[in-house]
Structures are given as structure tokens and as C-alpha cells.
Amino acid sequence: MDYRLNLGAWRKVFAVPSVVAEDHLKLASGTQIKVLLYLLAHSDLGLRAENIAEAAGISPADVDDALLYWENAGIIAGSDGELYPSDKTAAVQAKSENTLNTPEARAKLNSETVYPPKEIAGAVNGSKAVKYLFDTYERLAGRPPKYSEQRTLMVLVEEIGLPCEVTMMLVEYCFKIDKATPAYMKTVAMDWCENGINDIPKAEERIRLLRSRFDAENRLRRRLGMTSAFSSKQKQFISEWADMGISDELIDEAYDLMLTNTGKMSFPYMDKILRKWHSEGITDPSQLEKQKKKESPVPKTTSYDLSEIEQQSLELYKDII
């Protein structure tokens, strides 16, 4: 008997780099994914931007932008229309690992390096990655970056060596929390340098952590009715609570207990309460109620009537009172 395997839709398959699925599903747009998939499926054909655009239902300009994204991400490389797999990602990561978390890199973030406009223009025109970074900033801001913003971007990618794709994530995060100022971007960059944030997965995890801290601060500010900013020490407390996964409900309970017992605002007092609950595995107020019931003393039962004894005592000592 002869056998034949009918692959159907699987008759023609092609490989997709695992890094695309692991690192870029959240970052890349649908258009960028479409272009890469079409290229991989037709790698043996010479394709014009117009052909890809027609097949994907997008414009030729979108094709060019998508290819630029994948070049910046280190997935593909090439020039004059000849594309091939890139080995850039490993080299960039190795370089950034060696240069990010150093006193020199941190000092450069605090410096006021002057970049002449011509030098900035040269960097943008001479590097597709830098150009894409500046284009991304312009898209997010709705305007071209100001000189102070251009200088900050140059410091991040040229001075301390933060990879362009990681810098783009940093910039997008700052815009999402409405704090896209040069000073704040440098603050975040300092945090990333100190924690070795040099690739997309690490940046994603750091953004998740920073976002949870930022949200925790805003929620607590509303809860306390505060209009001013928290002090650096208070922010440290809030960040640690967020990192520990302490819920807003438990923070509310600690806040109420603090006011009841001290009558004043005391973050150290709240911190001791929350750390005690955390060590005991308490994650929500319902567990607190169960704990209170366990710790409450059981009233003793008696065979006599206390009110009757009290009345007899009053009668006995009425002449003395």
C-alpha cells in the first residue's frame, strides 16, 4: 500500500525567529508583523515595496517603516534592497552589558553634554535606528522633539549606549504616564542603568514594575487627599509595598489603624503594620477579620448573675457610700 501525507495548509511552511514571538508581539504593530511574515513567506522572491503593500493591504511607506523597525530590532539587516538575518542583537546586548551599569555611564546622565544641531542631524541621517527613535518621539509628542529633548535622546543612545529599541520603550513609558520630560527620562534611564535593563524582555518587566509603583502612588495620593508630591522616603515605602504585591485594601486598613492608634500621618508606622501582615500571609481584609476572631478572648461563662451581685453590693454598702 502506498502512503501519502496530505499537509494541506501546512504544505508550505516557513521559519519565524523565536525572538519575534518572545519579544515583539507586544511592541510591533500589526502592520510590522504583516510585513515580516510576508517577507519570510516569500524569501526566495525579489519583492518591491509596492508588491508587499498590495498583499498586506497597506501603503508602500508603511512597508518602509516596518522594515526599519525590524532592522532596528536586529532581526534583519541589509542595504540597497538586499536583506538578510542580522546578528546585531547579540552584539548590542553584549556591548550594553559592559557599559550601562558603570560610574561613567551614570555620570554622563547627570552631565550637560552639548550636541551641536549639525551633530544631531548627522546622527539621525547616519543611523536608521537613531532616525527611527527620533521619529517615534515625534509621533508620540505630536511635534518634532525640542533641542533639550534631542540632546537627552543623544545622551541615552550615544553617551551611555542604551540600545535604540530599549530607549524607544523608555520614551513610550514616559509618555504613557504623562511625564515625558528630559529630566524624568534621565531619571528612568538612571534606574535602568543601575538595574542592567539592556534588552526588550528586561525593559518590559521593568516597565511593569515601574507602572505598578506609579499607579500605587496615584491611588494612595487620592486616598489621602494629597495634592503635593510624596517625599523620596515616602515614595520608597510605596514602591516597596507595590513590589511586595500589597493590595490597596490592605493599605487602607493600615492607614485607618495608623490614624486610630497615632492620630497622625506616619509612613513608618504603616510600613511596620503592612510588613507584619505580609509576613503572616495576609493579603486581603477578610483574612484580617478571621485573625481578629481567633485572637479575641472567649468570654467566660458563669453560674451567677453579675447584675444581681452588683445590686446586692449596693444594698450592703449603701450606708458607706
Most confident listed range (29-38, 83-92, 301-310): 29-38
Of the two residues 221 and 7, the one the predictor is more confident about is 221
Of the two residues 4 and 249, the one the predictor is more confident about is 249
299 occurs within a structural domain:
no
pLDDT at 96 over 60: no
pLDDT at 103 over 80: no
Q: Does one domain contain both 135 and 243?
A: no
Using the 3D structure, point to which of 17, 51, 86 is the last residue of a domain. Answer: 86
pLDDT at 130 over 70: yes
What average pLDDT does the structure give for the chain?
80
Q: Choose among 182, 171, 172, 174: nearest CA to 147.
A: 182
> One-letter amino acid identity for 106?
R
pLDDT at 124 over 60: yes
The confidence score (pLDDT) of residue 195 equals 87
The confidence band for 42, taking pLDDT boundaries of 50, 70 and 90, is confident
The confidence band for 295, taking pLDDT boundaries of 50, 70 and 90, is low
| Burial of 216 (C-beta count, 10 Å sphere; 0-12/13-18/19+) | buried
pLDDT at 187 over 80: yes
Q: Does one domain contain both 180 and 237?
A: no
Percent of the chain with pLDDT over 90: 21
Q: Does one domain contain both 146 and 199?
A: yes
Evaluate whether 134 touches 168 at the Cβ level (below 8 Å): no
Q: Does one domain contain both 113 and 13?
A: no
> Residues 76-84: what's their mean pLDDT?
70
pLDDT at 141 over 80: yes
134 occurs within a structural domain:
yes
Q: Does one domain contain both 109 and 47?
A: no
The confidence band for 19, taking pLDDT boundaries of 50, 70 and 90, is confident
> Residues 193-215: what's their mean pLDDT?
88
Q: Does one domain contain both 276 and 188?
A: no
Q: Does one domain contain both 46 and 113?
A: no
Range of the domain at 111: 91-212
Q: Does one domain contain both 202 and 162?
A: yes
When divided into structural domains, the chain yields a total of 3
> One-letter amino acid identity for 90?
A
Using the 3D structure, point to which of 61, 86, 111 is the last residue of a domain. Answer: 86
Using the 3D structure, point to which of 86, 120, 155 is the last residue of a domain. Answer: 86
2 occurs within a structural domain:
no
Which residue bears the cell 508581539?
Answer: 25
Q: Does one domain contain both 97 and 175?
A: yes
320 occurs within a structural domain:
no
Distances (CA, A) of 148 to 153, 183, 186: 9, 10, 12
142 occurs within a structural domain:
yes
> Residues 180-185: what's their mean pLDDT?
93
Q: Does one domain contain both 240 and 197?
A: no
> Residues 176-195: what's their mean pLDDT?
91
293 occurs within a structural domain:
no
The cell for 153 is: 535622546
Which residue bears the cell 507595590?
Answer: 242
Which CATH number do you get for residue 19?
1.10.10.10
314 occurs within a structural domain:
no
318 occurs within a structural domain:
no
> Residues 110-117: what's their mean pLDDT?
79
- The 3-class SS string of 251-314 reads HHHHHHHHHHHHCCCCHHHHHHHHHHHHHCCCCCHHHHHHHHHHHCCCCCCCCCCHHHHHHHHH
